[in-house]
Amino acid sequence: MGDIYIEKKYRVVYYKDKCISAFTCVAFYPERWVINNNDNKADLVGGWEDPQRPGVWIFDFNHDELEQFKQSAMVCPVQIIEIYNKETGERIFPM
């Protein structure tokens, strides 16, 4: 039996280069945001740096993580976390 692949419906875009190290995202969703002690900025667990935009990190996820990502984006004091619906291209946060 082969592996089942489920397309991720949502995408978080994180502008790490603009992080001010408040770590509110870490407080609200520690399973996906952790403190990087080397650069004193939040890291997006499972994310990857966009090769076309240095300092911008991306992670695709399913509906079961949507509320946690929205909460962590809402508490960011510099609003550098964006959430998109990959199917429609609609920006979910910020609106």
For 50-64, the pLDDT digits (tens) are 999 999 999 999 999
pLDDT tens, residue by residue, 28-81: 999 999 999 999 999 999 999 999 999 999 999 999 999 999 999 999 999 999
Give the per-residue pLDDT at 38.
97
The whole-angstrom separation of Cα 21 and Cα 3 is 39
- CB 31: neighbour CB atoms within 10 A? 9
Dihedral sign of CA atoms 75, 81, 87, 91 in order: positive
Bridge partners (DSSP) listed for residue 13: 58, 82
Domains of the chain: 10-93 (3.30.70.20)
The whole-angstrom separation of Cα 43 and Cα 4 is 28
Token pair 């399913």 is at which residue? Answer: 62
Tokens of 17: 């280069």
The whole-angstrom separation of Cα 37 and Cα 40 is 5
